[in-house]
């Protein structure tokens, strides 16, 4: 139970805590005025005296609030009451992609590409407005409902905004991102642009079609070393059923050098669409017919097919064999009878 369960923040009644992270707690809440369920993200109380943290929290609300897109979580409100900083978002019923993968494992390539296309569409909109997410991972991707057909990108707490370039809001000593999904340039502490988001999305897609991320390690440091130094494990070495076209897409998306990577969300959207077309064409391809037998001449008599031969051509069993033998015996008896009367 969260410390705020059953309490009110502004006009919102907090029902239960749904999750807890390093910066905030997430509560399911109810808004009585219009009788709807919402989500409140509440900054931890021990962080409210840190102005950089508070600024980052407010920046998250500003980043998500400027993005109006069906695959980006909608920020409804923001407020503060009794030193509780909170933002209000739509309530989504489907749970996280991370929970889905833990429960069900990998998904078919077609489904992964379909969901990936939705996320790319969201990133294309965000990048066009100067927002780089910087923390794309399965736990920050929600399903809109339990049909698992629509995903929504959430948690812009680490997002960088183009108009924040004049002043850094990064907390000293904090890691910007989650090691498993960080791009190599983020690991090296270099400047990150839209291509870093695409790399992180590539790691998510890799996990969706193989059931595991490309790199695993026991410590954050060893994970970071693998991200920067180890060659990418072939997706088909983990999932041999993965179509080649999907593996090629992942390899181009997960290049360690940003210059060798797919360069924009728009280009990635095109690449995903092309891969989907290949899979669709493969699924609907008509099998090549077997070569036909040479045509029989009209004056050439058809080969005599005895009952036994006819039966054998359709798969023989004891019942058909018995019928075939009895047929031969009948023909023999009739022939003998005719010979006696000649």
Catalytic residues: 135
The rounded Cα 41 to chain-centroid distance in angstroms is: 25
Per DSSP, what are the bridge partners of residue 79?
A: 86
Residue from 73, 266, 45, 48 nearest 156 by CA? 73
- Specify the DSSP class assigned to residue 138: G
Per DSSP, what are the bridge partners of residue 132?
A: 160
Per DSSP bridges, beta strands 151-153 and 141-143 are antiparallel
- Tell me if 42 sits within 8 A of 61, measured CB to CB: no
**CA–CA separation, 153 vs 119, rounded Å?**
7
Contacts of residue 103, defined as CB under 8 A and 6 or more positions apart, other chains included, come to: none
Contacts of residue 93, defined as CB under 8 A and 6 or more positions apart, other chains included, come to: 143, 144, 145, 146
**CA–CA separation, 9 vs 40, rounded Å?**
9
Element (H, E) at 269: helix 265-284
- Tell me if 4 sits within 8 A of 27, measured CB to CB: yes
Phi-psi region of 105 (alpha: psi -120 to 50; beta: other; left: phi over 0): left
């Amino acid at each position: 139970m969260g410390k705020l369960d059953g309490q009110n923040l502004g006009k919102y009644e907090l029902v239960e805590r749904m999750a807890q992270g390093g910066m905030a707690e997430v509560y399911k809440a109810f808004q009585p005025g219009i009788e709807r369920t919402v989500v409140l993200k509440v900054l931890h109380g021990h962080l409210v005296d840190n102005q950089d943290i508070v600024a980052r929290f407010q920046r998250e609300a500003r980043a998500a609030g400027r993005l109006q897109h069906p695959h980006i979580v909608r920020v409804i409100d923001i407020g503060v009451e009794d030193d509780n900083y909170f933002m209000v978002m739509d309530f989504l019923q489907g749970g996280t992609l991370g929970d889905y993968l833990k429960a069900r494992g990998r998904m078919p390539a077609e489904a992964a590409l379909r969901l990936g296309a939705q996320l790319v569409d969201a990133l294309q909109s965000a990048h066009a407005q100067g927002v780089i997410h910087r923390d794309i991972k399965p736990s920050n991707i929600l399903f809109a409902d339990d049909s698992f057909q629509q995903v929504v990108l959430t948690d812009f707490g680490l997002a960088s905004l183009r108009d924040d370039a004049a002043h850094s809001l990064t907390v000293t000593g904090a890691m910007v991102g989650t090691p498993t999904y960080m791009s190599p340039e983020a690991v090296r502490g270099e400047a990150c642009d839209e291509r870093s988001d695409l790399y992180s999305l590539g790691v998510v897609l890799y996990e969706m079609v193989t059931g595991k991320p490309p790199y695993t390690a026991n410590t954050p440091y060893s994970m970071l070393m693998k991200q920067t130094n180890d060659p990418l494990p072939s997706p088909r070495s983990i999932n041999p059923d993965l179509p080649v076209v999907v593996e090629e897409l992942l390899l181009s998306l997960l290049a360690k050098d940003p210059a060798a990577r797919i360069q924009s969300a728009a280009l990635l959207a095109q690449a995903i669409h092309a891969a989907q077309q290949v899979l669709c064409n493969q699924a609907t391809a008509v099998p090549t017919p077997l070569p036909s037998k040479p045509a029989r001449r009209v004056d050439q008599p058809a080969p005599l097919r005895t009952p036994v031969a006819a039966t054998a051509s359709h798969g023989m069993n004891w019942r058909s064999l018995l019928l075939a033998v009895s047929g031969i015996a009948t023909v023999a008896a009739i022939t003998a009878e005719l010979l006696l009367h000649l």
